Amino acid sequence: MKIIERQLRQSLLQQWDSGKVLIVLGPRQAGKTTLIESICKEKGEYLFLNGDDPEIRTVLENAGEKKLIRIIGKHGTIFIDEAQRIKDIGIISKIVHDRLKKKRLVISGSSSLELSNEMNEPLTGRKWEHLLFPISWNELVGHAGYIHARAQLDTRLIYGMYPEVIIQEDNAQNVLKSLTGSYLYKDLLRHEGIRKPELLEKLLIALALQIGSEVNFNELANLLRVDRATVERYIDLLEKTFVIFKLRPLSRNLRNELSSGRKIYFYDNGIRNALIGDFKSPELRNDMGLLWENFVICERQKLNHYRNWHGHSWFWRTYQQQEIDLIEEIDGSFFAFEAKWNEYRKVKFSRSFTDNYKPERTLVITPGNFDDFLE
């Protein structure tokens, strides 16, 4: 089976000899190890250190310059995988960068929670940081070809875009159950803020049932019988381990605009469906509109990240229930998008929004035109 070519590959190659530490963050099983190892093998000999391996963690504990020289030996490239598991990884990285001048260090991690905190101060000005998501639509088209990718759109809406899910098409449900069972919680359950794993699962299911809707933290707290602060903390941790992401409301002080609240989306439709145990085909579902919205907005997030877009993403809603799924703002200009699974449903953008924000573009995203939206 041909490896799926990743868009991030070119950015990593361009920075490979920059003299800075390369950091790739993203969900577990999104393909970070495969991508980085493919480049390492292409470039020559390298040392692979797996942070999930307790023996590796023990060897690297309290490692100073002399010990690191012994560990690294003659290897020019060092790849540390799942680096968030390694104590003082920021200090170790700084020593390699500052003292072992001819060594190249590449790091991957599945949690920005520990890794960003560990790396930011020691590696200020010394690193390039990237995110790798599950397979993007453009990567799928590049891998499978446009016609085959389009033919499996319904499948991708149900089973998602994780590499192993795409490659093991006949075993997709079992792959997703494994992901949501062990890998999804692996970093979270080690965190001291997670004292109730069963609460985490209940919260994820509640969020999975509310994609596309404004999430009320107080209602979630009442549903789960915990305080609001606990709900907010768990959601923050889920975001930092790349399970979900939030959109905030656009509000520029128009009297009828919502200025609080959040919409929460999953980075992958398959993970969402696995959590609620629903893999029914599109014609048997009543949530295809929600799945389409989650897919479209998530794919746009991937696209914007990979092209180094520097704008802001919002949703917009009024107290009169006028709503726009996605607003993008860049350099003072606004672009408004609605995601609709039904191509024949007529959509009118709110006059209140268009009069006040004067968007450069308004577009309804349907299965018939979404390719252009994701180019």
Average pLDDT over residues 65-86: 95
Residue 352, burial from CB neighbour count under 10 angstroms (0-12, 13-18, 19+): middle
Q: Where are the alpha helices (DSSP H) in 53-170?
A: 54-60, 65-72, 89-99, 112-119, 137-144, 146-151, 153-159, 163-167
- Rounded distance between C-alpha atoms, residue 154 and residue 156, angstroms: 5
Give the DSSP per-residue string, 301-350.
HHHHHHTT---EEEEEEBTT--EEEEEEEETTEEEEEEE-S-TT------
pLDDT digits (tens, 9 = 90+) for 221-242: 999 999 999 999 889 988 988 8
- Rounded distance between C-alpha atoms, residue 6 and residue 142, angstroms: 9
Mean pLDDT, all residues of the chain: 91
> What is the pLDDT at residue 245?
95
pLDDT digits (tens, 9 = 90+) for 194-220: 667 788 889 999 999 999 888 999 999
> What is the pLDDT at residue 365?
97
- Rounded distance between C-alpha atoms, residue 343 and residue 286, angstroms: 16
Instruction: Tell me if residue 11 falls in helix, strand or coil.
Output: helix
> What is the pLDDT at residue 188?
72
Q: Quick one: tokens of 205? A: 């299911």
pLDDT digits (tens, 9 = 90+) for 254-280: 666 666 788 999 999 999 999 999 999
List of domains in the chain: 8-131 (3.40.50.300), 137-373 (1.10.10.10)
The model's confidence at residue 344, banded by pLDDT at 50, 70 and 90, is confident
> What is the pLDDT at residue 255?
66
The model's confidence at residue 111, banded by pLDDT at 50, 70 and 90, is confident
